């Protein structure tokens, strides 16, 4: 426990420093938007302060079966805990002409009733600038940074591990002819993922993509996209490099605000990994469908298959998932939302020290239900519940658990 507390103290110090730096960047960005807005006719700048208090009871915070060796090793077999989350932030929206900017910064304090050594701080910041130049060019530039606790279901540990992720992306679209659009983009991803024995573990990735879409049919677009991802593990269980090539048929139907919208991609991906000399390939893609069924009811369905990295093992993880959700506006003040999802995860060859994860196969399912009540124009109350279950062909990775909670949220508009 002493080691945990020292780690917590170091994490708090690092979090405060990072949060202040992020706050400075975001405030500067917001100030820059306001300055630009003042000099442009018809500019609109809006800042919305927001805060929330959330209490939830989780019957299985470590995502392990009863009597799991991880619990035995820590000397405490308790799996349930009550967690309080206190959040405050501000969202900024700016628009002048066709240009738009959104910015969000928020900080959170998470407090556990039983496992107090898991108490920690988190933050999130995002700045996204969408630009348009004449009839031919448009695109966006976005920077996103978060400092979040890693889910225990994704780690083989009961220790506090807080990841710091930063994404920097830029996209540009060019109208080649009246019916075609050329799209190009880059994404730089840097993720600090501390693990037991590897406190400085880090993952770096950069992705480049190029696509050509046909847009000659109203509300319909389709085309071909190619992309390449290059990544590397540093100071980790697998200090190595990997590469992934993708080719996809991309498509979209329905303009923003339409009754029905369909977006997605279907293609082929191939990943090679230096540390294992393994190759993982196959069908990948995603399909998102949403529909406003009635004035009060909407549905959303998603299908996804992707080749990802397994942080703990230093190898690959292929995830295939499906979800279906519905939202019902029972009254002008009450909203009910439900969602069910299923994910199959297949683990490929892992780096040394994580051999037991090679060939592992998990089936994870979850059901969520929430009821929201708009008490006042600026104040809302939400109650929610979740049941999750994972079955694995590897010992000690199967578990189930429930979460129930209540959230009070305010926004000054």
pLDDT for 169-200, tens place per residue? 999 999 998 899 999 999 999 999 998 888 89
Distance CA 1, CA 159 (A): 10
Nearest to 307 by CA among 276, 283, 287: 283
Q: CB-side exposure of 350: number of CA atoms within 13 Å?
A: 21
pTM for this model (two decimals): 0.85
How far is it, in rounded angstroms, from Cα 314 to Cα 179?
44
Task: Note whether 408 and 378 are within 8 A (CB).
Answer: no
What domains are defined for the chain? 2-411 (2.40.160)
Torsion sign across C-alpha atoms 156, 165, 338, 373 = positive
* Nearest-angstrom CA–CA distance, 63 and 79: 8
Predicted local confidence at residue 218, as pLDDT: 87
Residue 299 parent element (H or E) = strand 297-310
Helix (H) or strand (E) holding 83: strand 81-96
Region for 36 from its dihedrals, namely left if φ exceeds 0, alpha if ψ lies in -120 to 50, beta otherwise: alpha
**CA 185 from centre of chain:** 19
pLDDT at 352 (0 to 100): 61
Residues in the chain predicted with pLDDT less than 70, given as ranges, are: 1-42, 352-356
């Amino acid at each position: 426990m002493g080691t945990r507390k020292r780690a917590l103290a170091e994490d708090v110090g690092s979090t405060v420093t990072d949060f202040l730096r992020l706050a400075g960047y975001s405030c500067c960005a917001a100030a820059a938007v306001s300055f630009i807005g003042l000099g442009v006719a018809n500019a609109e700048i809006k800042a919305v302060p927001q805060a929330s208090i959330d209490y939830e009871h989780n019957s299985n915070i470590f995502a392990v079966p009863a009597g799991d060796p991880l619990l035995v090793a820590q000397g405490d077999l308790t799996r349930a805990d009550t967690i309080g989350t206190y959040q405050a932030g501000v969202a900024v929206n700016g628009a002048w002409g066709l240009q738009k900017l959104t910015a969000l910064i928020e900080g959170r304090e998470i407090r556990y009733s039983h496992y107090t050594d898991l108490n920690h701080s988190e933050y999130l910041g995002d700045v996204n600038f969408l630009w348009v130049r004449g009839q031919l060019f448009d695109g966006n530039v976005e920077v996103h940074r978060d400092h979040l606790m890693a889910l225990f279901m994704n780690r083989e540990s009961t220790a506090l591990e807080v990841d710091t992720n930063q994404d920097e992306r830029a996209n540009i679209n060019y109208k080649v002819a009246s019916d075609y659009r050329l799209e190009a983009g880059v994404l730089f991803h840097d993720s600090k993922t501390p693990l037991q024995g590897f406190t400085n573990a880090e993952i770096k990735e950069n992705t480049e993509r190029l696509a050509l879409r046909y847009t000659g049919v109203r509300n319909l677009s389709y085309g071909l996209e190619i992309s390449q991802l290059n990544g590397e593990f540093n100071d980790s269980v697998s200090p190595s490099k990997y590469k992934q090539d993708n080719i996809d048929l991309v498509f979209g139907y329905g303009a923003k605000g339409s009754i029905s919208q369909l977006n997605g991609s279907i293609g082929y991906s191939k990943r090679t990994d230096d540390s294992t000399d393994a190759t993982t390939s196959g069908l990948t893609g995603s399909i998102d469908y949403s529909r406003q069924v009635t004035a009060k009811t909407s549905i959303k369905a998603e299908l996804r298959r992707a080749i990802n990295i397994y942080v703990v093992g230093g190898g690959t993880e292929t995830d295939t998932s499906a979800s279906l959700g519905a939202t019902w506006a029972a009254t002008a003040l009450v909203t009910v939302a439900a969602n069910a999802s299923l994910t199959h995860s297949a683990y490929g060859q892992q780096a040394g020290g994580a051999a037991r994860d090679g060939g592992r196969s998990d089936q994870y399912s979850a059901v969520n239900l929430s009821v929201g009540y708009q008490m006042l124009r600026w104040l809302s109350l939400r109650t929610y519940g979740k049941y999750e279950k994972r079955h694995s062909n590897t010992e000690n990775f199967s578990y189930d658990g429930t979460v129930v909670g209540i959230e009070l949220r305010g926004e000054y508009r």
